[in-house]
Amino acid sequence: MASTARGNVRLQAVVVAAGVALLAIKFTAWSLTHSNTILSDALESIVNVTAGTFALYSLWLAAQPRDREHPYGHGKIEFISAGIEGGLVMVAGGLIIWRAVQALLAHQQLHDLGVGIALTGAAGALNLIMGLGLQRRGRRAHSITMEASGAHLLSDAWSTVAMVVGLVLIRLTGVLWLDQLFAIVFAFYIIFTGLRVFRRSVAGIMDEADHELAAKVIAQLEAARRPPWIDVHNFRTITYGAVLHVDCHVTLPWYYTLAQAHQEITAIERLVNGHDREVELFIHMDPCVPRSCGICTLADCPERQAPLARRIPWALETVLADARHGAIDAPPS
């Protein structure tokens, strides 16, 4: 995990350096053309560099080991970083609209569109490559910061493609107000992208339930389920950066010794941690009760008081409730 975190930091540092170079290219293209479409792209690049720098810091901080003041680690900083990036993207979109309206009223002229198109297109291609790389790495490393940076760069790349198409149309038709129209349309797209990133960061800070992620962990448990694991309930997940924290209750045979119970809980922990991310489990053990016999698959149980009635499959609807055997009335599988 430590090597993955260091690799994330190095990759983000490369992205920030490339962002500075792209910023210079785009402002050069704008100074040559006076195109507000190109200016809107250049202004978003300022946001890219600012947000990328903060993302670099947040990835470095998230990679630091836990300490007394931060017993759950520093991973939450990634949500703050994504929120700041989303906010900056929305501000950039607003500035683009304001600048485009000003230019529309002033009837600003365009120059050297051929050079501007070439420079902007090259910058967009590089953003596309970096964005795809960041998103792929972010998904693999479970880093919302890298995913947010990748999504931002991809939105920048696709908007650049659209801008180049618009500039070509302007050059062919000579209709200059199309420049302002394209800038405003792209600005609204940028604002929407920022809002989506900001919404996801708030969800992470508020520990909003990720049912898709929880379903994957539950499916792992269901696939390797052992007979002594009679019931799972009060299942909750919280994300701290790349670390997934899981709280749940597990019902075990009441007559198990502490050593036997610990062995079963350790097996659950190894099962969940045997995949591509670090998972921290806090498991509360519950002893079975007489009504547990109806859903218990432990064939050689010496204390069984009733035969197995049916096996309750573990899924979101059967394990999230804060009640032991809360799914006892579920239909037979």
Q: Where are the domains of the chain?
A: 2-205, 211-319
Average pLDDT, the chain: 79
Please tell me the distance from the alpha carbon of residue 287 to that of residue 248, in angstroms, as a whole number: 14
Which of 68-72, 102-106, 168-172, 201-205 comes out lowest in average pLDDT?
Answer: 102-106
Provide the pLDDT for residue 333: 34
Beta bridge partners of 236: 247
> Is the predicted pLDDT of residue 283 greater than 50, yes or no?
yes
> Is the predicted pLDDT of residue 253 greater than 90, yes or no?
yes
**Residue from 102, 120, 89 nearest 189 by CA:** 89
| CATH superfamily placement of domain 2-205 | Cation efflux protein transmembrane domain (1.20.1510.10)
State mean pLDDT over 36-55: 74
Beta bridge partners of 245: 238, 280
State mean pLDDT over 3-26: 80
Q: How confident is the model at residue 77 (pLDDT cuts 50, 70, 90)?
A: confident
For 219, phi then psi, to 5°, come to -65, -35
What tokens were used for 308? 């197995």
Provide the pLDDT for residue 252: 95
Please enumerate, as own/partner, the contacts of 124-130 that have beta carbons within 8 Å and a separation of 24 or more: 124/41, 124/156, 124/157, 124/160, 124/161, 124/163, 124/164, 125/157, 126/18, 126/22, 127/22, 127/153, 127/154, 127/156, 127/157, 127/160, 128/153, 128/154, 128/157, 128/158, 130/15, 130/18
pTM: 0.61
Q: How confident is the model at residue 78 (pLDDT cuts 50, 70, 90)?
A: confident
CATH of domain 211-319: 3.30.70.1350
**Residue from 197, 187, 188 nearest 81 by CA:** 197
